[in-house]
Amino acid sequence: MHTGGYGFDRATLLGIFSSLSGSSEAGFALNCCLQLHCLTVKTGFTSEVEVMTALVKAYSDLGGDAADCYKLFLETNSHKDVICWTGIITALAEREPEESFFLFRQLLREGISPDWYTFSSVLKACAGLMTEKHALSVHCLVIKSGFDGDTVLANSLIHAYARCSCMALSKQVFDLMESHDLVSWNSMLKVYALHGQGKEALQLFVQMDFQPDSTTFVALLSACSHAGLVENGISIFDAMSTDYGVAPQLDHYACMVDILGRAGRVLEAQELINRMPMQPDSVVWSALLGACRKHGNAQLAITAAVKLKELEPSKSLGYVQLSNICCSGGRFDEAGLIRNEMNWSRVKKEPGLSWIEIGNQIHEFASGGRRHPLRDKIYAKLDVFIGKLKELGYTPETCLALHDLEEEHKEEQLYYHSEKLALVFATMKESSLPRVIKIMKNIRICVDCHNFMKIAADLLNREIIVRDSNRFHHFKSRICSCNDYW
């Protein structure tokens, strides 16, 4: 077959798709991918499973729509081998983890044996699903298939278990490994960082028998930040370049701004930003803004929020944080102006969603909960539950609610946040209430919900784990692992 006088075959297409997958110009490469897709249809190469697998991979690597990748997989007419199945599982693993895991189960039903690459991809999906049972089931298959001694898959298991709130299983996998590589050590350090276990991270670092790299120090500094180990963090940051020859990058500076901000040393954090040898990114300014929120430095918060809005004009974080700071200081008119600016700029705040696993089913809750079929029962249970919490000292943080609402309505607005609804739903079946209640949330937990969870854990005599967009919060006996800074 040929176009323009030059012939091409399957190998030609495979080579081109491979080169497009590694392109740094994603927009241009995605357009080329689309044109080549049309050519494969025109020339009949859609019947070649290798070509369609390469096409799915190219679309996925370049940020193409996950639904389009799935459609391509379904349109593959020839026999789908393990490479083809692994291609679509990989394409959906991070963006559509539930669908990816479903396809993995379908692969097993088809009698196809997963290989190393399949397990590697489906473990990424498990990390996204954040439910322990999925990671455990894949782990069992890894062992059954004879891959339990593989270092790379063990590293993936460490990460997957950590994202499922199973620190103990992450550590068990790490401890049972025959040999560790640098990724193994870094992965375990990240586990401790995610869960606020700073001292454990420092102890592990002492045992590390590899030369640490840039990723090692991001994990260590993050662990110090989440655990409030300010002086340890400063020492590690100073030792990076002097003792280990690792030059600080943007991520390290962001961690240091967070560490200093946690300690109330906001001006020092600002000075550090001014001394940075590179331009601060949105993560750095976001860290400074969080410190200003915590310690009430409104003037510096304005500077940070403006920088954040310049770097990420379509995201709501800068607007929302600045509005909250103004509300906390009683400057409601300013907060209203910020909300108006957000509306004029057509910036939408991401709606709050939470997920909880009850039995073998995942339940999703949106803030307000009006679409849930059991909303009336949940609301009734919530009213009773909040009454009990108030007796134990819970006071709604109405200062962050819209100032033009009556106080009663402000409280009501706070009560229906998605993580509260998820928790109350879990308590409706007290006989099956687990010892550890795990809730996943898509955005950062608010101050009121944070206070709510601390007292709720005490009332229920349970540990409550909330994973928000930043980290894991372990609530137990009125204390959170983040020490009220996140």
**Rounded to whole angstroms, how far apart are CA atoms 333 and 170?**
49
Domain end call among 349, 370, 397: 349
Residue 459 lies in a domain: yes
Residue 319's nearest CA partner among 334, 305, 301, 300 is: 305
- Same domain for 464 and 399: yes
Residue 71 lies in a domain: no
Task: Please give the tally of structural domains in the chain.
Answer: 2
CB-CB contact of 106 with 70 (8 Å)? no
Sequence-separated (6 or more) residues with CB below 8 Å from residue 245: none
pLDDT score for 1: 41
Domain end call among 349, 377, 401: 349
- Same domain for 455 and 436: yes
**Rounded to whole angstroms, how far apart are CA atoms 272 and 287?**
12
- Same domain for 440 and 376: yes
Residue 398 lies in a domain: yes
Which tokens in the block code for residue 169?
A: 């299983």
Residue 394 lies in a domain: yes
- Same domain for 343 and 361: no
pLDDT score for 403: 44
Q: What is the pLDDT of residues 17-67, one digit of tens each?
A: 677 666 666 667 767 767 777 767 666 665 566 777 777 777 677 777 777
Supply the DSSP symbol for 347: P
Domain end call among 349, 383, 417: 349
Residue 198 lies in a domain: no
Residue 381 lies in a domain: yes
Residues of 254-267 as b/e, b for ≥16 C-beta within 10 angstroms?
Answer: bbbbbbbbbbebbe
**Rounded to whole angstroms, how far apart are CA atoms 270 and 274?**
6
Residue ranges in the chain modelled with pLDDT below 50: 1-3, 5, 402-410
- Same domain for 366 and 323: no
- Same domain for 429 and 357: yes
Kindly tell me the burial class for residue 375, based on how many C-beta atoms sit within 10 Å of its own C-beta (0-12, 13-18, 19 or more): middle
Which tokens in the block code for residue 35?
A: 């044109």
Residue 315 lies in a domain: yes
Please name the amino acid found at residue 416.
Answer: Y
Determine the 3-state secondary structure of 479 from DSSP: strand
Q: Considering the entire predicted model, what is its pTM?
A: 0.81
Q: What is the CATH number of the domain that holds 339?
A: 1.25.40
CB-CB contact of 460 with 414 (8 Å)? no
Name residue, tokens 């193409």: 64
Residue 284 lies in a domain: yes
Name residue, tokens 């819209």: 402
- Same domain for 326 and 295: yes
- Same domain for 416 and 324: no
CB-CB contact of 320 with 298 (8 Å)? no
Supply the DSSP symbol for 210: S
361-366 sheet: strands from edge to edge: 361-366, 353-358, 436-441, 463-467, 472-476, 479-480
Name residue, tokens 């869960």: 195
CB-CB contact of 58 with 21 (8 Å)? yes
**Rounded to whole angstroms, how far apart are CA atoms 297 and 266?**
8
- Same domain for 331 and 293: yes
- β-strand partners of 364: 355
- Same domain for 360 and 307: no
pLDDT score for 71: 80
- Same domain for 457 and 359: yes
Residue numbers of the domain that contains 475 = 353-480
**Rounded to whole angstroms, how far apart are CA atoms 191 and 25?**
33
- Same domain for 365 and 292: no
**Rounded to whole angstroms, how far apart are CA atoms 25 and 420?**
43
